């Protein structure tokens, strides 16, 4: 790098070194079409020599794009959110765009105003919405009214509103339930996800569809409400174990709840998976940390976030991109006929 490089260089330094006006440098920064290739190259070379990095704040004041987008989320699983943030950040990094992460509470009656304030104060160029914000009506109305581009991850409603990326939650839950049935399980407990998430209903639907196809009755006693966190999974397992006819397998709607199920079963003195098979959903890092490691549905969380960010940054409108899930087998689930299994069907 040239000896004139200075991390505090400003647009006037670039102008002087390139031999052009400040206005011309501004046009290059804003990708103005009426700049010759030769001039553009001189300015870009000067910026490189000076290690000049345009101020985001200056762009905002100038009324140009802020080169930043926001991810808005409300989710109780830190493992899930880590993957969502990482997927968005990677795609932003490739385009030199900054990512702002903003948690909200979709149950807050002021959530729409909060999102309006975020957009107004930061001047972000677009928004990625993660579940359950992706179906939060006050947020959707606020963004539409402000005419700001946004893309949704796994929406359950208003599919024609914006571009989106998603996976088939119902089919994924169907696949896992069918897997348990094929292993000989007939009493399968199901821990439903947070009621604010449309995916919770989709996964319950898939579970019931698999039971119906196999000719197995749906028993409400084997359904427990959860909130996508460890504690609700723990409580659900305690409830199941108090039944006269306990499930031989429990399928939780995410890995955090499945970990809670395992912890409650261990506390009750059960030998897993010999006494109880446990399955999860998401395939977060947690799925490989618990004992035994979870058989789970791999939701392509990182890829969903990256794809949503790509749709936003490339300006594609009304594109709906579906990504595939995968059933990952580990040691937390065994067949009823397995020597490891001691439960009674």
Nearest Cα to Cα of residue 32 among 41, 40, 42, 22: 40
User: Any idea which of 13-17, 170-174, 181-185, 240-244 has the lowest mean pLDDT?
Assistant: 13-17
Per-residue pLDDT of 236-256, as tens digits, reads 999 999 999 899 999 999 999
Instruction: Say if 4 falls within a structural domain.
Output: no
Average pLDDT over residues 32-48: 85
Instruction: Say if 147 falls within a structural domain.
Output: yes
Instruction: Say if 17 falls within a structural domain.
Output: yes
Instruction: Say if 332 falls within a structural domain.
Output: no
The answer on 272 and 187 residing in a single domain is yes
Instruction: Say which CATH number the domain at 156 has.
Output: 3.40.50.2300
Q: Structurally, how many domains does the chain consist of?
A: 3
pLDDT at 188 over 50: yes
**Which pTM does this prediction carry?**
0.75
**Range list of H helices, 183-300:** 198-213, 230-241, 255-267, 286-289
List Cβ neighbours of 280 (8 Å cut-off, separation of 6 or more).
Answer: 251, 252, 254, 255, 257, 258, 259, 287, 294, 295, 296, 297, 332
C-alpha dihedral sign at 315, 316, 321, 323: negative
Q: Give the range of the structural domain holding residue 81, as residue numbers without chain letter.
A: 68-167+302-324
Per-residue pLDDT of 51-87, as tens digits, reads 776 654 444 444 456 788 999 999 877 888 999 999 9
* pLDDT given at position 270: 96
């Amino acid at each position: 790098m040239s000896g004139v490089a200075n991390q505090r260089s400003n647009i006037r330094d670039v102008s002087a070194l390139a031999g052009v006006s400040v206005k011309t440098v501004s046009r290059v920064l804003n990708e103005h079409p009426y700049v010759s290739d030769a001039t553009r190259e001189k300015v870009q070379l000067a910026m490189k020599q000076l290690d000049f990095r345009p101020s985001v704040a200056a762009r905002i004041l100038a009324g140009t794009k802020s080169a930043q987008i926001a991810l808005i989320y409300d989710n109780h699983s830190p493992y899930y959110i880590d993957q969502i943030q990482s997927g968005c950040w990677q795609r932003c990094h490739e385009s030199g765009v900054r990512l702002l992460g903003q948690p909200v509470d979709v149950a807050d009656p002021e959530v729409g105003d909060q999102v309006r304030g975020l957009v107004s104060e930061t001047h972000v160029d677009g928004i990625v919405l993660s579940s359950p914000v992706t179906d939060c009506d006050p947020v959707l109305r606020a963004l539409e009214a402000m005419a700001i581009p946004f893309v949704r991850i796994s929406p359950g409603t208003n599919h024609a509103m914006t571009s989106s990326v998603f996976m088939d939650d119902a089919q994924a839950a169907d696949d896992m339930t069918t897997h348990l049935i094929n292993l000989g399980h007939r009493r399968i407990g199901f821990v439903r996800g947070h009621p604010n998430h449309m995916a919770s209903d989709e996964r319950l639907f898939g579970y019931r569809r698999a039971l119906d196809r196999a000719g197995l009755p749906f028993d409400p006693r084997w359904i427990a409400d959860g909130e996508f966190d460890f504690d609700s999974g723990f409580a659900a397992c305690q409830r199941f174990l108090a039944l006269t006819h306990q499930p031989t397998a429990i399928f939780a709607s995410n890995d955090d709840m499945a970990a809670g199920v395992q912890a409650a079963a261990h506390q009750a003195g059960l030998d897993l998976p010999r006494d109880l098979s446990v399955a999860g959903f998401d395939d977060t890092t947690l799925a490989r940390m618990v004992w035994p490691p979870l058989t789970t549905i791999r939701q392509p969380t990182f890829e969903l976030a990256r794809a949503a960010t790509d749709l936003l940054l490339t300006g594609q409108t009304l594109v709906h991109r579906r990504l595939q899930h995968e059933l990952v087998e580990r040691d937390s689930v065994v067949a009823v006929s397995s020597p490891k299994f001691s439960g009674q069907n």
